[in-house]
């Protein structure tokens, strides 16, 4: 009874060992005598790799979203600070420090989002 149970776990253990070692799926076929098991192991490894890549993409997108959110909030704060200082002077003074901070914040947001970048004129030949 135990021998049959152990034999049924062999493909699972084999698959886990291969995926843990990141063995090339092409070598799986030559390592196992049973072509069906080899194909199943290879399929599982490819599906696991695909799932991992999908998770990695989601993590990257979430990190980019958080980074954009932080930079956008800094831009909003810079706009508010500039508007406050400009309005305090009733439009007669230019708050240079706040304007520089606003320019920097906008530049950071533009570096993260391509659609917000200004268009560059075509070079003349």
Residue 23 pLDDT greater than 90, yes or no: no
Residue 6 pLDDT greater than 80, yes or no: no
Tell me the whole-structure pTM to 2 decimals.
0.56
Confidence label for 1 from pLDDT (cuts 50, 70 and 90): very low
Query: How many structural domains is the chain composed of?
Result: 1
pLDDT digits (tens, 9 = 90+) for 57-68: 999 999 999 999
Kindly state whether residue 124 falls inside one of the protein's structural domains.
no
Write down the pLDDT at residue 2.
46
> What are the b/e assignments for 18-54, b being 16+ CB within 10 Å?
bbeeeeebeebeeebeeeebbeebbebbeeeeeeeee
Q: What is the mean pLDDT of residues 36-47?
A: 93
Kindly state whether residue 79 falls inside one of the protein's structural domains.
yes
* Structural domain span for residue 18: 2-116
């Amino acid at each position: 009874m135990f021998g049959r149970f152990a034999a049924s776990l062999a493909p699972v253990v084999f698959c886990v060992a291969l995926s843990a070692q990141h063995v090339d799926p092409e070598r799986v076929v030559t390592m196992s005598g049973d072509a069906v098991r080899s194909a199943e192991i290879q399929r599982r490894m490819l599906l696991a790799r695909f799932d991992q890549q999908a998770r990695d993409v989601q993590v990257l997108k979430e990190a980019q979203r958080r980074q954009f959110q932080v930079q956008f909030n800094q831009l909003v704060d810079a706009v508010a600070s500039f508007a406050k200082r400009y309005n305090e002077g009733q439009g007669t003074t230019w708050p240079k420090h706040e304007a520089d901070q606003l320019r920097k914040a906008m530049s950071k947001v533009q570096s993260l989002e391509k659609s917000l970048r200004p268009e560059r004129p075509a070079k003349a030949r």
